[in-house]
Amino acid sequence: NFISAVVPPGEIGIKFDDIGALEDVKTALHELAILPMKRPELFSRGNLLRPCKGILLFGPPGTGKTLLAKALATEAGANFISITGSTLTSKWFGDAEKLTKALFSFASKLAPVIVFVDEVDSLLGARGGGFEHEATRRMRNEFMAAWDGLRSKDSQRILILGATNRPFDLDDAVIRRLPRRIYVDLPDADNRLKILKIFLAQENVAPGFDIRALANATEGYSGSDLKNLCIAAAYRPVQELLDEEKKGKKHDTTPAAALRALNLDDFIQ
Ligand code: ATP
């Protein structure tokens, strides 16, 4: 199947509160997507307040774009369909028209729905002139035609949400169809602190450990990098316990004993 996930509302298990920082992004998504889906009557009059059909999230890898898309579906009470640009084009040569039609008719049935297109640049990237694969070109044209063809009744309740690390690769025609573009930036120190607090909320952190110092020392880290760092730190006491066992030390090996204090100090350079 070329759709990588279809999740009903409420079953994604990720809310805005599970995402650290990115407050401005959450506010923008609230106005642009959640309100029009939950309160369509507020957007039905006049021409100025039209719900937008497409939003682009762009920014460095690991900054939470996929997480935001999933949380948005939860917050909007919408179904979530996820497709990945690169798998679409490479696997499904020749079936562009059929697949795109199927996707959009499926989406109409599931409205309200967020159609998340990860790596949107692979699916809808710039026209590659003579070198471009015919299947890629057809898929893009079909996708845009189906998108334009959404009836206005449906367009209120079907949102195409694209994500990319490479916004400059996008075709102009695609950029026009994603009129709202939201930059998802790397976190600064205060925001790294907020993200770390979410990851460490349930953990047994070493007493006196200075999370603020870790936040300050991790300039340039994405949310995903911070998560990997915490996972590595959490694994260390487990590794130490296994090493001691190898040397013949006897331990109470219940899970509670294995979960010794997480010590992140070693990770601060
Ligand atoms: P890519 O562009 O590489 O697809 P992305 O921007 O979509 O990356 P995600 O896949 O959403 O990034 O993030 C990867 C993981 O990093 C998430 O599953 C989550 O665990 C963690 N993460 C990233 N940012 C945050 C954040 N602000 N708060 C909490 N967790 C985060």
| Ligand 1 atom with minimal separation from the 57 CA | 6
State the pLDDT at residue 192: 96
pLDDT for position 92: 59
The CB density around residue 156, as the number of other CB atoms within 10 Å, is: 19
Residue 247 has what pLDDT? 87
Q: Which atom of ligand 1 is nearest to the CA of 165?
A: 2
Burial call 168-204: b when 16+ CB within 10 Å, e when fewer: eebbeebbebbebebebbbbeeebbbbbbebbbeeee
63, 122, 190: residue to mutate for ligand 1 pocket, most atoms within 8 A of CB? 63
Query: Which residue CA neighbors atom 8 of ligand 1 most closely?
Result: 62
Distance from Cα 266 to the centre of ligand 1, integer Å = 24
Per residue, the 3-state secondary structure of 23-86, as one string, reads HHHHHHHHHHHHHHHHCHHHHCCCCCCCCCCEEEEECCCCCCHHHHHHHHHHHHCCEEEEEEHH
Nearest-angstrom CA–CA distance, 217 and 43: 45
Which residue has the least CA distance to atom 9 on ligand 1? 64
* DSSP label at residue 260: P
Query: Which residue is closest in CA terms to ligand 1's atom 27?
Result: 20
Going by alpha carbons, the residue nearest to atom 10 of ligand 1 is 66
Q: Which ligand 1 atom sits closest to the C-alpha of 195? A: 28
The C-alpha atoms of residue 267 and residue 269 are separated, in whole angstroms, by: 6
For residue 254, what pLDDT is reported?
Answer: 58
pLDDT in tens, the chain (269 residues): 567 788 998 899 999 999 999 999 999 999 999 998 988 888 877 777 777 779 999 999 999 999 999 999 999 999 999 998 776 665 556 677 788 888 898 999 998 999 999 989 887 766 555 555 676 777 788 888 888 887 666 666 899 999 999 998 888 888 888 989 999 999 999 999 999 999 999 888 887 888 999 999 999 999 999 999 999 888 888 888 888 888 887 766 655 555 566 777 777 65
Ligand 1 centre distance from Cα of residue 191 (Å): 14
What pLDDT sits at residue 137? 77
Ligand 1 atom at minimal distance to the Cα of residue 18: 29
**pLDDT for residue 4:** 78
Pocket of ligand 1 (CB under 6 A): 19-22, 61-67, 163, 165, 195, 198, 223-224, 227
Please give the structure tokens belonging to residue 128: 């590659």
- Cα 4 from Cα 57, distance rounded (Å): 19
Q: Kindly report the protein residue whose alpha carbon is nearest to atom 3 of ligand 1.
A: 61
pLDDT at 93: 61
Q: The whole model's pTM is what?
A: 0.89
**ipTM summary value:** 0.97
Choosing from 25, 67, 198 the residue with most ligand 1 atoms within 8 A of its CB, the one to mutate for a pocket test is 67
> What distance in angstroms lies between residue 243's CA and the mean position of ligand 1's atoms?
32
Q: Write out the two tokens for 74.
A: 């939860």
Ligand 1 center to residue 83 CA distance, Å? 17
The answer to whether the beta carbons of residues 99 and 144 sit under 8 Å apart is: no
Residue 182: DSSP 8-state: E
- Give the angle subtended at the CA of 214 by the CAs of 212 and 220, to the nearest 5°: 115
Q: How far is CA 183 from CA 9, 65, 120, 258, in A?
A: 25, 10, 15, 41
What is the per-residue pLDDT for 206? 81
Find the 227 Cα to ligand 1 centroid distance in Å. 9
The pLDDT value given to residue 138: 79
Q: CB-based contacts of 243: which residues, under 8 Å, 6+ apart?
A: none
